[in-house]
Amino acid sequence: MKKGFFILLFIVLLSTLTFSSCGINNEQNINETVSSFYNAYQNRSFSQCLSYFSQRLINSQGETSLINNLQSSRLFAVNVSLQSMGKPSINGTNATIWVDVQKGLLNITNSTQIFLIKEGSSWKIDRLP
């Protein structure tokens, strides 16, 4: 009887650790995707920015159109830097995260919500920020 209890307790603990680490990995992956996107955007590496977009976004808008939109949004934004990120809200294969981005000559900070979707084991931006 005691042996069965300890085996059950071990299984519950193992399951808890497994599921909680998946959440941490998802949050880390989302944070890495968003910060890498803004780093590429800041450096005007617009083709690299595409690697952080979902296939659905690329298919619906087209690579050329996405790059043109990114380029035009950077025309007057001399400085662009990611200031902070909130905690991601994850719902299955969809997630959102609020970020504070500093832009322009006056370094005005705006809050923006980023929408992501999970593709395979990676999180990708599913709407243009």
Which whole-number Å values give the CA distances from 82 to 22, 27, 45, in the listed order? 25, 17, 15
Rounded (10°) CA dihedral 42, 44, 48, 51: 50
Length of the chain: 129
Q: What is the pLDDT of residues 46-79, one digit of tens each?
A: 999 999 999 999 999 999 999 999 998 887 667 7
Q: What pLDDT, on the 0 to 100 scale, is given for residue 101?
A: 93
Q: What is the pLDDT of residues 86-111, one digit of tens each?
A: 999 999 999 999 999 998 778 889 99
**Structure pTM?**
0.78
Per-residue buried b or exposed e for 69-92, using 16+ beta carbons within 10 Å of the residue's own CB: ebeeeeeeeeebebeebeebebee
- The rounded distance, in Å, linking the Cα atoms of 59 and 54 is 9
Whether domain 2-125 has CATH 1.20.210.10: the reply is no
